[in-house]
Homo-oligomer: A and B are copies of this chain.
């Protein structure tokens, strides 16, 4: 049995050596494959802990689980970093001080996940019951048990909330350190670990945590392990992120739901009002029509523009994969699109559809809109542009349920709840340490390393600049087709194992 396994490992090593560059990375790979069963069992246990903001008790259990993982790996000074405000999910901290090291790298990931609506997950899947499949569901994957021989295929997927975003980051980082030590290797820098618990809630208290623990968090570079690798499957170094903020919109009509026959065409319909309002925000070519929406944008530098040109085009691949033949702004590439501020509807709801539909005029209609920001945008100013647009459509704007007096005075009433947000951030490409990072990633692959001026997603990286005067660089590891932020979130095993190598290469960096 053991012999078979070793032969398998050998074959895998030979096949995979083609794309591997350094003997250190090969040692890490060997460790990972030998311990794959243990790694995956531990990961599955981690994914079984619910990690949504609405469930603070379980968030604490996640933090405790990470502390245990760190202790087991011999990481020192393990502790929870609390915010000044009470009842904020803590960050988990740990460190490894390396004698003679001249620099300090701090590895970031987050352990909290997006909300879940279990009814939207595929039949048999539950967000917090990790399930192993032979491939992605959309590729015909089927459910399997964890293999007794600890042999995991690269195309297998594990389904659970947080499997990709971003418990994969936590696990890739901690398993990279484990594999490195077990291979008899030594980190090239001092290493710190920082795992946040409030990222999907907008990192509202991260500023407090950073301020409060400033000296502990001193470093030469933050390495952010979050987001997916490039859609081409190539490894990726990301220099910036978009900012993000939201607005919750609720249009009010009749105080009580009405029979659509008795009052249809007379009483206002909030779903139709909201549809008209949302439609007024974009033209038929997908361009946002809100006044000044594309103002304030700081253009890419020549180096960033050059890098952007070298990003492989995946537009046709993604169209095929997603089953779409048109894009929102005709003629705009995905690379160009994520370098623009965006307005996107996350959700809309009024009355009921499907089997619950009734012949009614609903009382309210609600939408959540998501504003992504690029460098130069200010999140509060961007929200205000949307609010001003809504007012220009004749709406009376309030921040709570309208009272009778307001209902009497205004034909069109909307409640707008602006959520917290943060701005975009970009690290310049020409820093010496950034060049070392790129070189380290190159030791793990013979393929192109994609240099991405910004990713489409958001992280509150401006906070690290603002509160710690720190530089950040984002090194993603998970597959791009991971359904993160939605139902059926999943992680491809090959990406997980490659990600451990990627993180390992950075820990070796001197």
Binding site for B on A (CB under 8 A): 54, 114-117, 120, 138, 227-228, 242, 244, 246, 248, 253-269, 271-272, 274-276, 278-280, 282, 284, 286, 318, 321-329, 332-334, 337-338, 340, 342-362, 365-368, 370, 372, 402, 404, 407-412, 455-458, 480-481, 483-488
Copies in the complex: 2
Q: How far is the CA of A261 from the CA of B456 in the complex (A)?
A: 5
A-B contact pairs, 24 of them (CB 8 A): A54-B355, A114-B359, A115-B355, A115-B356, A248-B357, A254-B323, A256-B481, A265-B286, A265-B332, A266-B334, A267-B328, A268-B286, A271-B348, A276-B279, A276-B282, A325-B409, A345-B362, A346-B357, A346-B358, A347-B358, A348-B353, A349-B352, A349-B354, A359-B370
A264 with B412: CB separation less than 8 A: no
Q: How far is the CA of A402 from the CA of B322 in the complex (A)?
A: 13
Q: How far is the CB of A195 from chain B (nearest CB, A)?
A: 20
Q: How far is the CB of A411 from chain B (nearest CB, A)?
A: 3
Q: Which of A256, A278, A402, A412 has the most CB of B within 10 A?
A: A256
B484 with A138: CB separation less than 8 A: no
6 new A-B pairs (CB below 8 Å) besides A265-B332, A360-B485? A242-B261, A257-B483, A266-B332, A323-B407, A346-B353, A352-B368
Chain B residues closer than 8 Å to A488, beta-carbon distance: 256-257
Chain B residues closer than 8 Å to A411, beta-carbon distance: 324-326
Select which of B255, B267, B344 is within 8 A of A269 by beta carbon. B344
Across chains A and B, which 9 residue pairs bring their CB atoms closest together, nearest first? A326-B411, A257-B486, A347-B351, A261-B457, A266-B337, A265-B342, A279-B279, A271-B345, A323-B407
| Chain B minimum-CB-distance residue to A410 | B325
Chain B residues closer than 8 Å to A481, beta-carbon distance: 256
Select which of B120, B262, B327 is within 8 A of A456 by beta carbon. B262
Chain B residues closer than 8 Å to A458, beta-carbon distance: 261
| Chain B minimum-CB-distance residue to A351 | B347
Known A-B contacts A266-B334, A322-B256; the reply to A346 vs B328 at CB < 8 A is no
Chain B residues closer than 8 Å to A117, beta-carbon distance: 352, 356
A256 with B483: CB separation less than 8 A: yes
Q: How far is the CB of A395 from chain B (nearest CB, A)?
A: 12
Q: How far is the CB of A362 from chain B (nearest CB, A)?
A: 7
B347 with A259: CB separation less than 8 A: no
Known A-B contacts A278-B275, A325-B408; the reply to A255 vs B455 at CB < 8 A is no
B266 with A346: CB separation less than 8 A: no
Chain B residues closer than 8 Å to A372, beta-carbon distance: 260-261, 264-265
Select which of B138, B266, B360, B408 is within 8 A of A256 by beta carbon. B138
B344 with A265: CB separation less than 8 A: yes
Known A-B contacts A115-B352, A346-B360, A348-B351; the reply to A457 vs B328 at CB < 8 A is no
